[in-house]
Amino acid sequence: MDSPRALDVLPLLQERLAELPGARDRRGGPVLFFPATPRRERAKPEDYRRLLQYLLSIPCEEQRELGFAVVIDMRGSTWSTVKPILKVLQEHCNALIHVAYIIKPDNFWQKQRTSLASHKYKFETCLIGLDALPKSIDTSQLTLDLDGSLIYDHAHWIEMRLALEDFLWQAADLLDRLDDLQEDLSRGDLADDLAGAKAALDLHNEMKKKILKAPVEEVDLVGQRLLQRLSGEGGPSGYDSGYSGRDSEASSGTTNPDLQACVPDILQHLEAGRTAQQQLLSLWAHKKARLDQCFQLRLFEQDCDKMLDWICRNREVFLSNYVEIGHSYQLAQQLQEEHNHFTANSMNAFININRVLGAASRLLETGHYAANRIRHVAGRLERAWKEFAAGLDERNAVLSLSVMFHHKAEQYVESTPAWSQACEVGNAPSDISELEAAIHSHQSLYEAMCQAYTEVHSTSKKLLYQLDHLVQVCNQPGMESDRKHGEGPSYEGSRGSGGGNPAADYSEGAGHVLNVIHQILNHHRALEQRWHSNKIKLHQRLALRLFQGDVKQV
């Protein structure tokens, strides 16, 4: 508190150099008393200045504007002890003084000195007898030592002022502490990583303990007890906003308007403390929800990072041999088994990816403050997985065709010697029906050879197309440039040795397929030539037998 406190001038108050019992003159202005006391002789001007600075600050602004009526009891004193009082009033607070009543001293010469010296002050001074004082100040507003009826206990007044100001100081300090806590809570900084988000939550939980430890209840209890004392009650009952002072003479606190004027201020401080704490708890809960969301966001981002790292690492493994199709049926089967095992392991990871994407959906359903960010990150993860899974599917299709192609090609090659031998007519039968059966069998052989060749050739075309499609799928721009949250290594940077150039990726496997097809084609042409040569022989022999039969009939 900036204004002076009773504690600061407590020794001077206890000297009873001046009193402010709450009296009012007939104008309604506050009355300041300087009772007759031998202690004046020891008082210094600085003592009066400090004391008056405190006492004149007590009444409310409206009362101070009316101006103080000062009553200086000069009975039993000399002018030399009164002069310092008037001098301090003149030099430091003349604007607040309406009139100064100086009660006439008993000594004749002191009266004359006072009368002659009291005309040089900016405020009105009036040398007056005690019996004339009630004309300006009612006897009910004069203390007993001035023949009045105002009950005033100076020690009790000091005690009440100390209690009041101590409460106001505690209440103001409490509000300052709560304001500091509110300032801390109002900081909107959110952590950028999971560890920071966890630390922020821990710190925030500690903040709640500080809010709950704030001595709101203790200050409230002090205020309630103070209100009870001001109302003259000694019981434990609380004090409410319907308070009205009692006209009790048992306690000067209940009739002192300066003390009574503090009641609304006390109530305001009590309400302010309770309200501030409740607002803090509400603000704490709001920020707790936001920090929880921040923690969930960072946890979600961390899980996404792990999944994207997994996809990146496994895609690197995948790209290291993604265009290998095997150079034989056995090798193709082995590659297919390895790929099936790799795919099965990848499907286990898909369970975790689905869990992360499900968490994203739940975060969005709660109205997360970073909804756009969550959609963006979840979309990146989902897209990366779909592209990776598409590569697995394409690779599976390629290997299935490779197994089929090599199986049919090897079957064709294995069948070539038997077909070649079957193409030889050898000792052709002489019977016409047997010749016709041989020609039919020879034709079936050709159809079987052509069917086998067609299947190999057709499978090779499908394999080449699928291989080309695999290379294109695995080299999409999105897959190469997708980065984790815009930071991590791109897929392009983690490519295997086989993933540098799509054309090179494709050429090795395609070259092998074309070489096999060329070998099959050479075998097929040789078989066709042999088959065709023997076909002519069979047809010529059949024609000869038919001619011989016709000749014989003729």
pLDDT exceeds 50 at position 465? yes
% of the chain exceeding 90 in pLDDT: 60
**pLDDT for residue 329 is more than 60:** yes
> For position 409, what pLDDT does the model report?
93
Q: Among 38-52, 335-349, 425-439, 519-533, which stretch is predicted with the lowest mean pLDDT?
A: 425-439
Separation of alpha carbons 158 and 18, rounded Å:
12
What was the pLDDT predicted at 241?
38
DSSP alpha helices (H): ranges in 320-370? 329-365
Q: What is the pLDDT of residue 189?
A: 80
pLDDT score at 116: 46
Name the least confident of 67-76, 171-180, 237-246, 261-270. 237-246
Task: For residues 229 and 254, give the distance between their C-alpha atoms in angstroms, rounded to a whole number.
Answer: 8
DSSP state letter for 67? -
For residue 505, the model assigns a pLDDT of 66
pLDDT at 371 exceeding the cut of 50: yes
Tens-digit pLDDT profile for residues 237-273: 344 434 333 344 444 556 789 999 999 999 999 999 9
CATH of 158-297, one of 1.20.58, 1.10.10, 3.30.70, 1.10.3470: 1.20.58
When pLDDT is cut at 50, 70 and 90, the band that residue 428 belongs to is: low
pLDDT at 8: 92
**79-124 confidence digits (pLDDT tens):** 888 999 999 999 998 899 999 999 987 654 455 555 545 557 888 9
Structure tokens at 436: 């016709």
pLDDT at 277: 94
Domain 6-152, CATH homologous superfamily name and number:
CRAL-TRIO lipid binding domain (3.40.525.10)
User: What pLDDT is recorded for position 233?
Assistant: 54
Instruction: Tell me: pLDDT of 491 over 60.
Output: no
d(CA 105, CA 110): 6
Q: Are strands 68-73 and 124-128 parallel, antiparallel or unpaired?
A: unpaired
The burial class, CB within 10 Å (0-12 / 13-18 / 19+), for 190 is middle
- Residue 36 CA to residue 101 CA, distance in Å, equals 13
Which residues, 6 or more positions from 52, have their beta carbon under 8 angstroms from its beta carbon?
18, 88, 89, 92, 93
Determine the pLDDT at residue 238.
41
Q: What is the CA radius of gyration of the chain?
A: 55
Half-sphere exposure of 216 (CA within 13 A, CB side): 20
pLDDT above 60: residue 490: no
Any idea where the domains of the chain sit in the sequence?
6-152, 158-297, 320-553
Which region, left, alpha or beta, applies to residue 67 given φ > 0 means left and ψ of -120 to 50 means alpha?
left
pTM value surpassing 0.85: no
Of 100-114, 258-272, 357-371, 428-442, minimum mean pLDDT range: 100-114
Contact 22, 256 (CB under 8 A): yes
Least confident window among 25-39, 69-83, 112-126: 112-126
Least confident of 86-100, 164-178, 179-193, 503-517: 503-517
Res. 525 pLDDT band, cuts 50 70 90: very high
Average of per-residue pLDDT across 517-536: 89
The per-residue pLDDT of the chain, averaged, comes to 85
pLDDT beyond 90 at 32 = yes
Q: Residue 492: what pLDDT?
A: 37
Q: What is the mean pLDDT of residues 387-398?
A: 91
Q: Please report the beta strands in 7-92, taking only residues with DSSP state E, as ranges in sequence order.
A: 31-34, 68-73
pLDDT at 232 over 80: no
